[in-house]
């Protein structure tokens, strides 16, 4: 037989030789222990982790949510810098009726009786000047406070700055009160109304649960131990549960998250679906990198004087922005994921003999004997000769 023919015959044997399972009983406690222990690990993984923890037998859906908020409270201030004033929701909450985000004013710098006129720019290295030739008329510096007129005016007895066309007098926001002006805002309350839907399961729920009525809402306040279902929260308690002090946070403001978790098991044997509340500060509070800390923005209130001149009060508002973040996933028994994961479990069990064979043929002292007994090559010519000798 030529070398080429032998090579072709070997390839044909490699492709078409049939391997049939053979039962080989190994009377070894070590091999048996490895086999049963591997089976146990697979069963624990499938039952304990896949079924119990991951609930892989369920179909899942993500929550669809809507949120409305309503803040209540009022405060009276009487400081040396301003006349006595009463503040209500329209003054310190923006917007007064919020959705999933609302802002509570806690501190401010206000600049009153501004009119559109000309005034010297605030002194800094880029605005100080010596005469009118230092600056170009009409130049607009985005970091400045107005459009330059080209004139150099006295800002004080010792400093001259370029003149700008702007709302004058200019805002000086460096004198921020060390104690929050509206420190009493910690006692304000917010009612959060949250409705959620799991569309795949046609499931709808509100955070105002069925047992809550109007009388209860008038007297309740969220408390994790005594009133965990009440949807009315005191701002001080929200900030406190986030690990912050309200009075410290109120000076320069910040961003705080109200997290509502609607993760639910909708199977009939565990069909309870209630919101779980948690609170967390969302903005970066880094004592080392404290550039531009807190949260603030500006807004203005406009007026007309008796002679028709337009004036405004500019307010740089510091406060806490509350973001209501709703998330969650619901699961319910489904035949398709159950069959898929059952098939995956059976495939894992089919790997157990392979692991045991590897241990037996690699780690056991009698591995050569086991190898000879496990794999048998059938030679048809030898079998035919033995049959002829018998006859």
Name the maximum alpha-carbon separation found in the chain. 135
pTM of the model: 0.76
Spatial separation of the C-alpha atoms in residues 170 and 139, rounded to whole Å: 18
Predicted confidence pLDDT, tens digits, the chain (391 residues):
566 766 777 777 667 777 777 777 778 788 888 888 888 888 888 888 887 787 888 888 999 999 999 888 888 887 766 678 888 888 878 877 767 889 999 998 888 899 999 999 899 888 888 887 556 677 777 788 888 888 888 888 889 888 889 999 998 888 888 888 888 899 999 999 999 999 999 999 999 988 888 899 989 999 999 999 999 999 999 999 999 999 999 999 999 999 999 999 888 876 688 999 999 999 877 666 667 788 999 999 999 988 888 999 999 999 999 999 999 999 888 888 888 888 887 787 888 888 887 888 787 777 777 777 776 766 655 555 554 555 5
Copy the structure tokens of residue 10.
């070997």
If one counts every other C-beta atom within 10 angstroms of the C-beta of residue 52, the result is 11
Smallest CA-to-CA distance from 121 within 157, 176, 165 is with: 165
Would you state the torsion angle of the CA atoms of residues 106, 233, 93, 95, taken in this order, to the nearest 10 degrees? 140
Q: Which domains does the chain have, with CATH numbers?
A: 13-56+334-390 (no CATH), 62-121+170-332 (2.60.490.10)
Query: Which residues fall in the annotated binding site for ATP?
Result: 70-72, 189, 296-298, 316
Outline where DSSP puts E strands in 52-159.
58-62, 64-72, 75-77, 85-87, 93-94, 97-98, 101-120, 147-154
H or E element, residue 250: helix 246-252
Closest C-alpha among 166, 114, 119 to residue 140: 166
pLDDT at 80: 64
b/e 115-141 (16+ beta carbons within 10 angstroms → b): eeeebbbbeeeebebeeeebbeeeeee
Annotated binding site: which residue ranges? 70-72, 189, 296-298, 316
Q: How far apart are CA 114 and CA 167, in angstroms?
A: 5
């Amino acid at each position: 037989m030529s070398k080429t023919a032998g090579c072709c015959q070997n390839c044909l044997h490699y492709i078409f030789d049939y391997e049939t399972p053979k039962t080989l009983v190994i009377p070894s406690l070590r091999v048996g222990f490895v086999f049963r222990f591997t089976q146990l690990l697979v069963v624990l993984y499938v039952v304990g982790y896949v079924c119990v923890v991951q609930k892989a037998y369920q179909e899942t859906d993500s929550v669809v949510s809507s949120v409305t908020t309503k803040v209540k409270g009022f405060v009276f201030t009487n400081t040396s810098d301003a006349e006595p004033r009463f503040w209500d929701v329209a003054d310190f909450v923006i917007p007064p009726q919020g959705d999933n985000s609302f802002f509570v004013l806690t501190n401010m710098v206000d600049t009153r009786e501004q009119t559109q006129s000309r005034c010297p720019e605030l002194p800094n290295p880029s605005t100080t000047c010596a005469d009118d030739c230092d600056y170009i008329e009409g130049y607009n510096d985005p970091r400045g406070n107005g459009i330059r007129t080209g004139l150099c005016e006295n800002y004080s007895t010792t400093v001259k700055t370029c003149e700008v066309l702007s709302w004058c007098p200019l805002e000086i926001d460096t004198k921020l009160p060390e104690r929050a002006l509206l420190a009493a805002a910690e006692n304000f309350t917010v009612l959060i109304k949250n409705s959620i839907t799991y569309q795949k399961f046609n499931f709808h729920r509100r955070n105002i649960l069925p047992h809550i009525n109007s009388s209860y809402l008038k007297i309740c306040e969220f408390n994790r131990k005594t009133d965990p279902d009440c949807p009315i929260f005191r701002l001080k308690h929200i900030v406190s549960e986030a690990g912050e002090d309200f009075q410290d946070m109120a000076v320069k403001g910040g961003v705080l998250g109200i997290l509502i978790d609607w993760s639910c098991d909708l199977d009939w044997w565990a069909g309870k679906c209630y919101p779980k509340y948690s609170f967390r500060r969302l903005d970066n509070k880094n004592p080392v990198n404290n550039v531009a800390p807190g949260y603030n923005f500006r807004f203005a209130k406009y007026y007309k004087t008796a002679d028709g001149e337009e004036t405004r009060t500019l307010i740089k508002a510091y406060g806490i922005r509350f973001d209501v973040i709703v998330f969650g996933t619901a699961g319910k028994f489904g035949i398709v994921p159950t069959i898929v994961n059952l098939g995956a479990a059976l495939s894992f069990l089919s790997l157990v003999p392979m692991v045991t064979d590897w241990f037996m043929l690699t780690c056991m002292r009698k591995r050569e004997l086991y190898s000879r007994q496990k794999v048998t090559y059938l030679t048809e010519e030898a079998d035919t000769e033995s049959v002829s000798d018998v006859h």
